[in-house]
Amino acid sequence: MALFSVIFILLLHVVLLISLTNEALGVSHSYHLSQEVLAQQEADRVHGLPGQPPVKFNQYAGYITVNETHGRALFYWFFESTDKPKEKPLLLWLNGGPGCSSIGYGEAEELGPFFPQNSSQPKLKLNPYSWNKAVNLLFLESPVGVGFSYTNTSNDISELGDTVTARDSYTFIIKWLSRFPQFRSQEFYIAGESYAGHYVPQLSELIFDNNHNPAKEDYINFKGFMIGNAQMDDETDQKGMIDYAWDHGVISDGLYHDIKTKCNFSLANQTKDCSNELNKYFKVYNVIDMYSLYTPLCLSNSSTSNRREAPVIEGVSPHSFSKFDGWHKKPAGYDPCASDYTYVYLNMPEVQKALHANVTNIPYPWTHCSNNISFWSDAPQSMLPVIRKLIAGGIRIWIYSGDTDGRIPVTATRYTLRKLGLSIVQDWTTWYTSQQVGGWTVVYDGLTYVTIRGAGHQVPTFAPKQALQLLQHFLANKTLPPQPIQ
């Protein structure tokens, strides 16, 4: 009898320990995790980063293998919400490129909790407008070859394209939710910018198509997506770039006339005469920032931001513009040298160790945009058929534009949305942040469009308060305030 009492007491201690561990991980009292899952989560837990200010939320980072045979593994960095993570949605953020890092841009310079600083020692600044104030925030470096994500099969890099990227990202989400099942029932959203105008709709379509049975184990509680300055349609994106440049005093009347006369952006390949004029157009962006017309360039002598050329990737959409070096510039942030600080910080061995990153000793430094990706095997010229399908399926869709971006400008996105042919429920309406105009909005039948006044390509970098406000209204599916907020 005494032995039975001892065993009973020991079992009570084990149950209590598991319950306390689940509570520390933000798990519902009614949802207990297996010891295997707890061990996996604990292995990915980030206990603190070099130079990090103290925080009360949990963070995790590590790898999810998306193809065992090829050894393809995607790197993620996850932040629980600052408040009530068990009640908040889960949001996946994707940057574009293709080939650019969601951690380097999204987390470290746009909407994540931590921004690297210019310092001789590792130093992070807490972002007061981090999106994990509203959601559980998940950043993914995708596809393989980007940032810390890798493959053990070198041929995988030459076969990259939209389809492979979407499938691997879908596999990542399924496996990530198996590692963090306490978030499985919470609402799931996707957001991103730039070439994520391809990534986000395609991943959304995969989830939508595989979500037939809500009772099945791999069901994702997917509700909607939001994309900023999104590359969605080759013809309108390219036409809009040229019109925006002329209208904002970037190119001359003569050059504008010659491009409009000699180029046909409904075609994938342009004539030599058109290419000559486009070379003159892109030359303008050697001296100003295409991604933010009115902010300064980084003038530091040691700056990598001065050399913002990303690798030229053949085959990527839009097929006409992608042949030009000027199309492949990297964006610069509001602090035009911010990317320099990120580059230095993420290449520090102690930082990589704290993040459980670079575990295979990748033979190249971490970079914002991958130097290894030089070919993109498939890139549809338009995402509009996918967007129409998802609108019909009841998926919440918001598109937004920073209106000082010259890369995928507000003009291009307005042309693209017009091409969708949706009826307008509420036309061009002012919205406010506090007592200032934040931008304008159009509510279509099945889609909401928002402009953010004075923001460049990376909207949360240039307008962080407005971007967080935009996210909160998107999640609530509420129109932005049409009157000043007292």
Sign of dihedral through CA atoms 202, 206, 212, 218?
Answer: negative
Catalytic residue among 198, 356, 368, 457: 457
- What amino acid occupies position 8? F
How far apart CA 94 and CA 32 sit, in angstroms, is 30
CA 331 to each of CA 295, 306, 430, 432: distance values in angstroms, whole numbers, following the listed order: 12, 11, 28, 27
242 CB burial (10 A radius; 0-12, 13-18, 19+) = buried
Whether 100 and 368 have beta carbons less than 8 Å apart is answered as: yes
Closest CA to 156 of 147, 141, 148, 146: 146
Core vs surface per residue 86-99: b (16+ CB within 10 A) or e: eebbbbbbbbbbbb
What distance in Å separates the CA atoms of residue 407 and residue 115, rounded to the nearest whole number? 24
The residue annotated as part of the active site, out of 194, 292, 320, 401, is 194
What is the rounded CA–CA span in Å between residue 198 and residue 415?
17
Q: Is 194 a catalytic residue?
A: yes
378 is catalytic: no
Beta bridge partners of 193: 228
Beta bridge partner(s), residue 100: 369
Residue where the block lists tokens 């989400």: 173
Which residue type occupies 123?
K
Residue 328 is a catalytic residue: no
Q: Find the helix packing angle between 234-247 and 410-420, rounded to 10°.
A: 140
Per DSSP, the three-state class of 166 is helix
* Among candidate residues 75, 130, 129, the one with its CA nearest the CA of residue 355: 75
Establish how many alpha carbons lie within 13 A of residue 140's alpha carbon, considering only the half-sphere containing its beta carbon: 30
Q: Could you tell me if residue 454 is left (phi over 0), alpha (psi between -120 and 50 degrees) or otherwise beta? A: left
Position 129: which residue type?
A: Y
With CA atoms as reference, report the closest residue to 193 among 408, 377, 378, 4. Answer: 408
- Strand 447-452 versus strand 436-444 pairing type: antiparallel
C-alpha dist (Å) from residue 84 to 17, 48, 61, 455, 470: 22, 21, 20, 30, 20
Catalytic residue among 233, 237, 335, 405: 405
Are 420 and 242 in contact, with CB atoms under 8 Å apart?
Answer: no
Task: Show which residues are catalytic.
Answer: 194, 405, 457
